[in-house]
Structure 1
Amino acid sequence: MNACVMNRWFVGGVALGVGALILGGCASAQRDGAVAPLTVTASSPLDVVAEFPHQQVTGVAVSRAGRVFANFPYWSDGHTVSVVEVRPDGVQQPYPNTDWNRKTGPEAERFVCVQSVFVDETDTLWIVDAGSPKQTGVVEGGAKLVKVNLASNQVAQVIHFDRSLAPAQSYLNDVRIDLQNNFAFLTDSNLGAILMVDLANEQAKRVLENDPSVKPEPNLQLTVDGTALIDPEKQQPLAIASDGIALDPEGRWLYYKALTGRMLYRVPLDDFEASLRSDVDLSNRVERVGQVGASDGLAFHDGRIYVTAIERDAVMRYDPATQQSEVLVRDERLKWPDSVAFGPDGALYVTTSQIHLTPKFNRGASRVEEPYRVFRVPREEVATGPLAE
């Protein structure tokens, strides 16, 4: 083992030109095709897990064995792969195979525009395919939820969503799984709605699509890293609907919020699931939980909700019991923290999608100068935080 590995720093190799895995930063350790390591101070709470120089990452998921998965939506011409496993040796392997990641062929049998990945407590990987390349509209057969058995690395189930569930202008975003009753819940971040799916019989239903809780909050201007986000087509402040979602399995609550919004909402899981087969008025079941700020991803862990605070370059956590928020970590490298996930040891993983620096919000010119990244906050820091006030 060389000195860099002994010092906890190693730069991994590159597969298919996607990027390089980095488990730290040793200035002299760089193989052909690898990305130069970052200079990170010893006191920094963020470890670099992976860098993607040319692929915009949004989602991250970690298995019970510590396997790391990331996804890249088809938002630009440079898109080459949809889902990868970031292996310990530095290779970023298309997952579950190259066939699912191909760019041609029937849309129902391959990834089209993957927005998120999620590993449930049974160590099953779920992949949300919004099916809307470059966000121009859902293509036939594109919108789906893909279940992958991590033990066999085989696709175990594919649930397709027709136009009644994923309209042409919808954009399926994130997913959570209720293992107790075998339900999936997905957010639609474009039109605003929650899609619930009975995984046993694949029945599904769109709910709350007329409720204010899934809509962007009116007259809210998002400003990220000094950039006021304006929708270039509508020439008005960017308005993104229901996006982040989190599930409390013990309390039996489903939490969610709009990205362009500061209020967190929740609905009892049992009411959600009963509404699939009845006329339960879910709007009457919606509860306002508290203000958590504009955010992209949510994750429920140890009784608290972890929030990617996109306007603060931070990850925060919110305690529903006390209605108190605290900053876990704030760092200028958290450029649009997008999704969060937890590893088997309690470490927190977070992606940086740099959405505000892309050409869409900068008059057609990219301001992205750094690689897209996955960071890790060690378990000890998560347990003892907050790390910043």
Structure 2
Amino acid sequence: MRKNPILLGIGAVTAVAALAGTAALAQRSGSALTQVAQFDHQVTGVAVTPDGRRFVNFPRWTDDAPISVAEVMKDGSLRPYPDAKWNEWRNARANELSVADHFVCVQSVVADGRGNLWALDPGAPGNEKILPGAPKLVKIDLKTNAVAKIIPVPEDVALQGTYLNDIRFSPDGKLGYITDSGTRGAIIVVDLESGKSWRTLDGHPSTQVDKTVNVVLDGKPLRRPDGRQPMFASDGIAISQDGKTLFYQALTGKTLYSINTDLLRPDVPENQRAAAVKTVAQTHVADGLWMSRTGVLYLTSPTDYSIKRLNGAAIETVLTDRRLRWPDTFSEGPDGRMYVTASHIQDTQWFTPGAPPSIKTQLFSFPPVR
């Protein structure tokens, strides 16, 4: 009998839920959330390595951040990573420094579990125009603390209007899957050995903004001064532990989708891919996704300051804490403890006229669902 790929992808989640029991899934108190660090600039991504090192990144959205990628030291201080040179690019020095070998606007950092940290740079300061030659994926060797490889994302893949958002890796370390949350959503696949990349599900309804979604925060619709609300396409991304199923969702959306990763190969016809997209669950406005090592799929929930998880086709609350002002991106520690950034998007100049360009943001952790 033909197996359903979506059941393969979420089977582990369902099994964990059955063991956990209803009581363990009750909403946790805010005390479950521990602040790990606080920053003076807007943070988005976080990565925790198998040996417990912690990394974060600061995109240049409303603020010319002095560091793009940093290691969070034990005392909470930041060390530019891999070095100061890679972090010296500034909006004010855009004509002086090469965008090819400097971080321009890093959106996420992810440890691959194979001794590397990867920094994803959409190369679009202010989440606006892409600077030619700036979109790239940077591989950093965690032993030598040096850049080992730069993979440029060419202009026929990182189209003008593209915003490279987050990345997950195949278990064999050969492929990277990136969400494009820009004006024409897609899933971008990168061959990490050859450096070649290609767009998939380009313009497919599953990767697009859901225009019926109204983002409500702090009791009112979230709007820019000109009346626009956040309009981000495919954003959160997760991959099953066996690497066979990719999960993704538009931030301005309410549906979690999946697809068999075999269908994201470049030789698969786009119509075949499109027909194979599965609806996993009806959800909520979600930014970050994470599949834990125990098979729990976590989702952030900015509109109610919470962390949720998938249980079969149902979405359940793990914890709620008003300190989670726009919970953004997840990572998992070596002991299973979960880490999440609070990027405070609603507090930026985009949505709060008169706000300073630099805002306080945080990194939190919480115990995993068992």
Q: Is this a same-fold pair by TM over 0.5?
A: yes
Partner of 1:171: 163
- Of 346, 363, 367, 1:374 maps to 363
The DSSP-based 3-state class of the residue aligned with 1:44 is helix
The DSSP-based 3-state class of the residue aligned with 2:303 is coil
Partner of 2:106: 114
Residue 283 (str. 1) matches residue 283 (str. 2): no
Aligned runs of 1:313-324 on 2, under 5 Å? 313-319=305-311, 322-324=312-314
The DSSP-based 3-state class of the residue aligned with 2:85 is coil
Residue 183 (str. 1) matches residue 175 (str. 2): yes
Cα 1:96/1:219, change in 2 over 3 Å: same
Identity in percent? 37
Residue 55 (str. 1) matches residue 41 (str. 2): yes
Q: Does the 8 Å CA contact 2:347/2:359 hold for their aligned counterparts? A: no
Partner of 2:134: 142
Partner of 2:237: 245
Cα 1:80/1:63, change in 2 over 3 Å: same
- Of 253, 257, 264, 1:265 maps to 257
| Count of residues paired in the alignment | 333
Partner of 1:45: 32
Residue 152 (str. 1) matches residue 141 (str. 2): no
- Displacement of 1:251 in angstroms is 6.0
- Displacement of 1:346 in angstroms is 0.4
- Displacement of 1:369 in angstroms is 10
Q: Structure 1 stretches of 5 or more lacking a match? A: 1-41, 385-389
TM-score by length of 2: 0.86
Aligned runs of 1:124-135 on 2, under 5 Å? 124-135=116-127
In structure 1, what residue type is equivalent to 2:280? V
- Displacement of 1:153 in angstroms is 1.0
Q: Does the 8 Å CA contact 2:44/2:329 hold for their aligned counterparts? A: yes
Could you give the per-residue CA deviations for residues 230-285 of structure 1, whole angstroms, max 9, x where no partner exists? 2555x343321000000003261000000011100000011112xx1342531011
Aligned runs of 1:1-389 on 2, under 5 Å? 44-52=31-39, 54-103=40-89, 104=93, 105-180=97-172, 182-191=174-183, 192-232=185-225, 235-250=227-242, 252-273=244-265, 276-280=266-270, 281-301=272-292, 302-319=294-311, 322-362=312-352, 364-366=353-355, 371-378=360-367, 382-384=368-370
In structure 1, what residue type is equivalent to 2:88? R
Partner of 2:16: none
Partner of 1:37: none
Q: Matched residues in 2 for 1:304 and 1:166: separation?
A: 31
Q: Matched residues in 2 for 1:352 and 1:43: separation?
A: 14
Q: Matched residues in 2 for 1:43 and 1:171: separation?
A: 33
Instruction: Tell which has more relative contact order, 1 or 2 (C-alpha 8 A, sep 6+).
Output: 2
Q: Structure 2 stretches of 5 or more lacking a match? A: 1-28
Q: Matched residues in 2 for 1:119 and 1:181: separation?
A: 11
TM-score by length of 1: 0.82
Cα 1:236/1:75, change in 2 over 3 Å: closer
Cα 1:227/1:356, change in 2 over 3 Å: farther
Q: Matched residues in 2 for 1:343 and 1:334: separation?
A: 19
In structure 1, what residue type is equivalent to 2:48? V
Cα 1:224/1:156, change in 2 over 3 Å: same
- Displacement of 1:370 in angstroms is 7.2
- Displacement of 1:47 in angstroms is 1.3
Q: Does the 8 Å CA contact 1:305/1:318 hold for their aligned counterparts? A: yes
Q: Matched residues in 2 for 1:227 and 1:141: separation?
A: 39
Q: Does the 8 Å CA contact 2:208/2:234 hold for their aligned counterparts? A: yes
Q: Matched residues in 1 for 2:205 and 2:268: separation?
A: 22
In structure 2, what residue type is equivalent to 1:48? Q
Cα 1:155/1:370, change in 2 over 3 Å: closer
Q: Does the 8 Å CA contact 1:296/1:338 hold for their aligned counterparts? A: yes
Q: Matched residues in 2 for 1:268 and 1:206: separation?
A: 15
More helix by share: 2
Q: Does the 8 Å CA contact 1:55/1:78 hold for their aligned counterparts? A: no
Cα 1:181/1:93, change in 2 over 3 Å: closer
In structure 1, what residue type is equivalent to 2:222? L
